[in-house]
Amino acid sequence: LVDHAFIVAGGEITKAARNWLGNKLDATKRSQILFMDREDLINLYVVTNLPLPTGATPVTPAEDDDLPF
């Protein structure tokens, strides 16, 4: 017996994927699913003021600001 289901993805959960899963379930079970994609997870860190884990943001290359002459 499942009370609620969390569907978590490291990328984007498309609207088509959400609709497909919703159509596979009846109306009573549809309201018990929570979708969380990458953007939702990052927003949780921003709202709660937690530091993001290593690797959550893209690596920016070190820029050399020195003039070439």
> pTM of this prediction?
0.51
pLDDT at 67 over 70: no
- State residue 16's pLDDT score: 93
Write the pLDDT tens digit of every residue in 11-64.
Answer: 888 999 888 888 887 777 777 888 888 888 888 878 888 777 787 777 776 666
- The Cα 17–Cα 19 span in angstroms is 5
Per-residue pLDDT band at 2 (split at 50, 70, 90): low
